[in-house]
Chain A
């Protein structure tokens, strides 16, 4: 099983690619709603991207209220 740091980095890489950002543009503590300015549909896209990448299901209610990549990675870790 990957470490939390590895999962966090994978999430950052996924978001960087999905939103077509330059490498290193995102960091674990970033508030992705503020940093990326994403709306509800883009949030669902990111959720699908994460689920497809990690081969998990991440119920919406588990990520509701989560706004930084590190906490998101913690939620993913508990489903790996």
Chain B
């Protein structure tokens, strides 16, 4: 399927480039609707691998790339369940999102995230599977999960550790603070900085350049420089599920859902 328009995203294949556009108000929160359509996208992308050189992932929402997991949906779904069912439900969701993100991480084409605005939590984890992140200079990146009594659950820590220095990883994770695009570029998270509103344009130009290279060489190069940290990804799921049954989590989620402060991602 070369084009699709769903409730949370759309995609279009043209001239060797797949463009995936996240578009779910208010900030591309990743819940069951987004996950279902991401799975659909991966199914279509698998069919298009031989004729695809690059994939650009961007957002049509003004707020940014993605604010991360849909915490309201998560809270509302979990609050009605007992501890055992709650844990099973979150594990199933994690297994599915890991499957999507692992496939994108090692996709045989080059993946480019064009990021603007908020790129937090699960949104940053989606950007992290991409080979290249091109960020608008007003973009902000954060892993605010600790405020909920959780760690990032969509592969964030293993992939950050793979790609960046541990000092920055600890700062980002343990303070929960957000960093701007300039800092993100300085530490190697962001590959290219774009002027305001120009990230998608630069991502398209980069994708166009990539279409000129031999597919076999591209695949070999990517495999060599980007190993998938499978063992750590498995451990992350286990730690997340263990933490998810702790008392801090439901209290943290409730506080977030009811929060009306200007910085709801801060504890």
Contact = CB atoms under 8 A, between A and B. Distances in A.
Interface of A: 33, 38-41, 43-45, 47-49, 51-52, 57, 59-61, 64
Interface in B244-267: 261-266
16 contacts: A39-B262, A40-B263, A40-B265, A43-B262, A44-B118, A45-B138, A48-B140, A49-B138, A51-B180, A52-B180, A52-B182, A57-B179, A57-B180, A60-B177, A60-B178, A61-B175
Contacts of B142: 60
B118 A41 contact: yes
> Secondary structure of the B side of the interface?
loop
A49 B182 CA distance: 12
B117 interface: yes
Nearest to A43: B262
Contacts of B140: 44, 47-48
Given A48-B137, A52-B182, 20 more contacts: A38-B262, A40-B263, A40-B265, A44-B140, A45-B117, A47-B180, A48-B139, A48-B140, A48-B180, A48-B181, A49-B138, A51-B182, A52-B138, A57-B180, A59-B177, A60-B178, A60-B265, A60-B266, A64-B263, A64-B266
B180 A41 contact: no
A44 B264 contact: no
A66 B132 CA distance: 35
B64 interface: yes
Contact of B175 (A47, A48, A51, A59): A59
A57 B262 contact: no
With most chain B CB atoms within 10 A of its CB, the pick from A39, A41, A44, A52 is: A44
Contacts, number: 55
B183 interface: yes
Interface of B: 27, 63-64, 117-118, 137-140, 142, 175-183, 261-266
Contacts of A33: 262
Contact of B178 (A38, A39, A44, A52): A44
B37 to A, nearest CB: 23
With most chain A CB atoms within 10 A of its CB, the pick from B64, B180, B266 is: B180
A52 B177 CA distance: 16
A37 B192 CA distance: 33
Contact of A61 (B64, B137, B138, B266): B266
Contacts of B183: 57
Contacts of A39: 262
Contacts of A38: 262
A61 B140 CA distance: 15
A44 B265 CA distance: 11
A80 B182 CA distance: 17
Nearest to B26: A41
A41 B64 contact: yes
Contacts of B179: 57
Contacts of A51: 180, 182
A4 to B, nearest CB: 23
Contacts of B181: 48
